[in-house]
Amino acid sequence: MKNKSIIAILLVGILLLTTISALAATRASTIINSTSIVLGSSMKATFSCSAKSKTDISVGSVKLEVQNANGTWSFVKNLSAPASASNVSIYNKPMDYSSSCTKGKTYRITGTFYVGNDTATRTSPARTYE
C-alpha cells in the first residue's frame, strides 16, 4: 500500500511538472514560430522570422560585437535595423554591415525581434570577415 501511494505521488508530480512546462512554453510566445540572424563572411546579415499568423514584424536593438584575442566579446557599436513589415507571417530582411567591420576580425550580431506583442532576442553565429 505504501508503494502505491509513493507511485501515485510521483505520477502526480510528473504530471504537474509536464503541465507547467507546457504552459510556460506556450506563454513564452503566442505568435512566434522561429527567429534567426545569419551573418555571412561578407558581413551581410539576414534577419528571419516566421509567425503563426499575419502581424507586424520589426527588429531593433541591433548590436555588433567583436571577438577578442582571449575569446571574449566586446561591444563595437549599435547598427541600423532592417525595415519593418506589416501584416506578414514571413519576414526576411538582408542588411550589409561590412562598412562597420574590419577584415580578418570575428564578429557576431544581436538583435531583438518584435512580433505582434511578443519579443525574441537572437545572436548570430560568429563569423570572420573575409
Q: Which amino acid is present at 56?
A: D
Domain shared by 124 and 110, yes or no:
yes
For the stretch 80-127, pLDDT in tens is 999 999 999 999 999 999 999 999 999 999 999 999 999 999 999 999
Nearest to 118 by CA among 54, 57, 64: 57
User: Which domain range does residue 54 map to?
Assistant: 31-128
pLDDT at 17 over 50: no
Exposure string for 111-127, b = 16+ CB within 10 A, e = fewer: bbbbbbeeebebebeeb
Domain shared by 110 and 96, yes or no:
yes
Domain shared by 94 and 40, yes or no:
yes
CA–CA dist 65, 72 (Å, integer): 10
Domain shared by 8 and 42, yes or no:
no
The total domain count for the chain is: 2
